[in-house]
């Protein structure tokens, strides 16, 4: 205890601290199983390419666009929702 410091009844101060490590997150966005071109707003794609922020596609997938979408087939869920009249 330091000079002039008060203690409260029933309150204890830990003397040592144990560092807490966050659990590892499983990365599911870099597999070949999900290589599709997704429908998104053009402004969102531009912003994501400049800032590196993740964006959300019409199908709900959240990712950071880094590849040329012309090289991949269109996401079937995005295509289905766009055909059904869903808006971006």
pLDDT recorded at residue 9 = 72
- Are the C-beta atoms of residues 38 and 70 closer than 8 Å to each other? no
When mean pLDDT is compared across 6-20, 39-53, 70-84, the lowest value belongs to 6-20
Q: Is the dihedral of CA 51, 53, 58, 59 positive or negative?
A: positive
CB count within 10 Å of CB 61 equals 17
Residue 61 lies in a domain: yes
Q: What is the pLDDT of residues 1-42, one digit of tens each?
A: 556 566 667 776 666 666 666 666 545 455 544 789 999 999
The pTM score is 0.60
Question: Which residues form the domain of 64?
Answer: 40-83
Q: State the total domains in the chain.
A: 1
Farthest CA pair distance, the chain: 74
Residue 57 lies in a domain: yes
Residue spans of alpha helices (H) in 1-88:
42-51, 76-83
pLDDT recorded at residue 31 = 52
């Amino acid at each position: 205890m330091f000079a002039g410091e008060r203690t409260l009844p029933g309150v204890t101060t830990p003397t040592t601290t144990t560092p807490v490590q966050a659990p590892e997150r499983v990365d599911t966005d870099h597999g070949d199983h999900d290589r599709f071109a997704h429908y998104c707003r053009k402004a969102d794609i531009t912003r994501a390419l400049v800032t590196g922020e993740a964006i959300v596609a019409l199908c709900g997938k959240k990712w950071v666009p880094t590849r040329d979408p012309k090289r991949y087939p269109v996401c079937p869920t995005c295509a289905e929702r766009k055909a059904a009249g869903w808006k971006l």
